A and B are shown apart, each in its own frame.
Chain A
């Protein structure tokens, strides 16, 4: 009795002695944790700051109001699609600046307005051929160099623009003939080599089809594999081997899956190169391990009492799994699937192998059409010489990030909503 009291006293003294040091250690650890957090937030802020500051201007576009005389002499009624619309636009510009006579200067003048103006005029004539012979007035996109000059990309200088062109633009500005509008082209057009006409719709459609194939294949296969391994397979050497291999697959660099796709889907099956179908198949291979692992974890978290109760009232094993275990595990599986899909959306490494790093101007209409995907579009634009693609690149990155955030947000929401505590 007596000796215990002495020990207690000693212990509390010891504790008191060490208390200061322990508090200090804790404060130090907390400080390091906050510092780590601050550093990662700082990097995130720098990343987003640089992307947004470069990319927000991609969502706007400068346009000019043109008054074009649709000259019947240029329009062949039988072949309206290939009439000389560019000539009509050029003639309209010449009429406005009669003082520009020299050939070189005329070329500079023409280069102010985008080639898109003539496509726009063509579409108007094709829609309503009665405008032939009259003067039409419409807002046409400006050339990419002019566009980024007006957006201030060149600072005080004028970049590639010649003094004559700057004078013409300033004249337009004084007359109120140019305005900044929301860039709908960016969302409705496919890829183009003219930055002012380029859009992400083709790439977004391609990503959509690719993810559709990936989802339709990897979710059922992944869930079925997980259910079998977790609920039916007998533990033993074989299931161990399979488990190790699945975990290995999750760590394989994704370019290997591209090589596999090239060898099997393209060369053996003869599926069309650059198609979203093959892209989806390759990304399925990549996503499957993620989904299987997440699904197995979700199944493991369902308490055995649920299974025992179901079996106890006479359910078969399949009924137990499908009526009781799976519904409880599904939120976790969905979360894993969405995270896998988000990964697949941002993946590029396996795609060059199967021909998806390609210039595709037409919007894909099916799974066998050639197509690019969003991250590939970003890569291709980042590599383009035209200056105006800098903002388009950042703009496309912002769209991709928005998609990723929406998907990961959904995953968090689902987890919060259906989460069960046992």
Chain B
């Protein structure tokens, strides 16, 4: 018994030894690309990474799903090889993040836009398809809305049913499942749909110039009285809940609608259905660009970065007939693809925000 125990002790000493040895040898080099960032870009970046890993002699890049903000934080920590080489983002890098990057020595960042993602408002196919405007969405979901009497002041949202909001809508209770505030989808939704609806009131629109802070508060604050239900980050869960209760609406990314079109349908927004072509040509109003950022300092130190960029920006990948389009990514127009392909392949750094 004593011998078994002492052997175990020796083993653990060996592991500790391994630990201190690895400290010296692994911080210095890495033979795979390390990618972090947005969970919205994750399904697209992973497909590219896998194809890249299978068709080249490089290792498959490792992709962590940390969220856009979390990814940029890690990315901007410095240029040591312990930091990621690429970060995905479902929004553009902010000025504050760009400055922090610079302060930490990450001077040259290559920005690559990869395409667009539509945000859909969907319900079960068992219920009739909703025809909404952005104004309806704003009035149904904002915490405070313009006084229904027409006076230029805000009142707590009085609307209970969709019919209250707009007489042409069904007399169903307003119940919308959507992402929590930590989500990039939520940011884009309030910015594009809610703000777009709020702007249809001229007196709110003029407020943007006078009191931007208050304006933002009006547009970006969602109801807390149960009409808007935070459903967590898992979009599959929202889809399941919509199927179970046809009276509810749900908010999520286009790829989930695309995959579940036998169960759910996208509502028309401003008369346009969330279809591939409509999002691509910009007539569907709620869509946002997706990006990734490359740390130029790591090119040449970590093998495979230029080859990964070539794979990502190839027509067979992000073109209108590429394999990312099959996964629900909305491709950019030809000229935009041309520009970002040029930037990516020549590693043109971002000058400023």
A residues near B (Cβ < 8 Å) are 81-82, 107, 111, 119, 154, 157, 159-160, 192-194, 213, 216-217, 219-221, 223-224, 266, 269-274, 277, 281, 322-323, 326-327, 330, 352, 355, 357-362, 367-368, 370, 380, 382-387, 390
Contacts and interface: CB of A to CB of B under 8 A. Distances in A.
Interface in B29-66: 30, 32, 34, 36, 39, 42-43, 46-47, 49-50, 53-57, 59-60, 62-66
Given A193-B50, A383-B39, A273 B34 contact: yes
A287 to B, nearest CB: 14
Contacts of A323: 1-2
A421 B260 CA distance: 60
A223 B5 contact: yes
Of all A-B residue pairs in the complex, the 10 with the closest CB atoms, nearest first, are A361-B60, A270-B27, A359-B63, A358-B64, A370-B62, A359-B46, A385-B255, A193-B47, A322-B2, A272-B26
A81 B57 contact: yes
Contacts of A382: 234, 236
A271 B255 contact: no
12 contacts: A193-B327, A216-B8, A220-B5, A271-B22, A272-B30, A352-B66, A358-B65, A368-B26, A370-B62, A384-B43, A385-B253, A386-B259
B235 interface: yes
B206 interface: no
Given A160-B259, A270-B82, A370-B32, A358 B1 contact: no
A160 B262 contact: yes
Contacts of A213: 15
Interface in B4-39: 5, 8-9, 11-12, 15-16, 18-19, 22-23, 26-27, 30, 32, 34, 36, 39
B233 interface: yes
Given A221-B12, A358-B62, 9 more contacts: A82-B55, A157-B262, A193-B46, A193-B327, A362-B60, A368-B22, A368-B26, A382-B234, A383-B234
A28 B34 CA distance: 62
B98 interface: no
A358 B49 CA distance: 12
A360 B62 contact: yes
Nearest to A318: B2
Interface of B: 1-2, 5, 8-9, 11-12, 15-16, 18-19, 22-23, 26-27, 30, 32, 34, 36, 39, 42-43, 46-47, 49-50, 53-57, 59-60, 62-66, 82, 233-236, 253, 255-256, 258-262, 321, 326-328
Nearest to B10: A220
Contacts of B256: 385
B252 to A, nearest CB: 9
Contacts of A360: 60, 62
Nearest to B4: A330
A270 B19 CA distance: 10
B64 A355 contact: yes
Contact of A273 (B43, B82, B327): B82
Nearest to B56: A82
Contacts of B50: 192-194, 361
A270 B23 contact: yes
Indicate the member of B22, B43, B57 with the most A CB atoms within 10 Å: B22
B66 A361 contact: no
Given A220-B12, A362-B59, A271 B49 contact: no
Contacts of A327: 1
A380 B65 contact: yes
Contacts of B27: 270-272
A359 to B, nearest CB: 4
Contact of B43 (A160, A192, A193, A352): A193
A23 to B, nearest CB: 46
A351 to B, nearest CB: 10
Contact of A272 (B15, B22, B49): B22
Nearest to A352: B66
Contacts of A119: 54
Contacts of A154: 262
Indicate the member of A107, A266, A273, A385 with the most B CB atoms within 10 Å: A385
Contacts of B234: 382-383
A111 B323 CA distance: 11
Given A82-B55, A192-B50, A270-B27, A357 B262 contact: no
A327 B250 CA distance: 60
B65 A220 contact: no
Contacts of A270: 23, 26-27, 82
Nearest to A327: B1
A330 B1 contact: yes
A359 B328 contact: no
Given A119-B54, A266-B82, A387-B260, A271 B26 contact: yes
A327 B326 CA distance: 62
A359 B1 contact: no
A270 B28 CA distance: 10
Contacts of B19: 269, 271, 277, 281
Contacts of B262: 154, 157, 159-160
Contact of A274 (B46, B62, B321): B62
Contacts of B16: 217
Nearest to B64: A358
Contacts of B34: 273-274, 370
A387 B262 CA distance: 11
Contact of A361 (B22, B53, B235, B259): B53
B265 to A, nearest CB: 14
Contacts of A370: 32, 34, 62
Contacts of B327: 193, 385
A217 B42 contact: no
B9 A383 contact: no
Contacts of B261: 159-160
A217 B19 CA distance: 12
A326 B5 contact: yes
Contacts of A272: 22, 26-27, 30, 82
Contacts of B39: 383
B57 to A, nearest CB: 7
Contact of A362 (B1, B43, B53, B66): B53
A194 B53 CA distance: 14
A277 B280 CA distance: 45
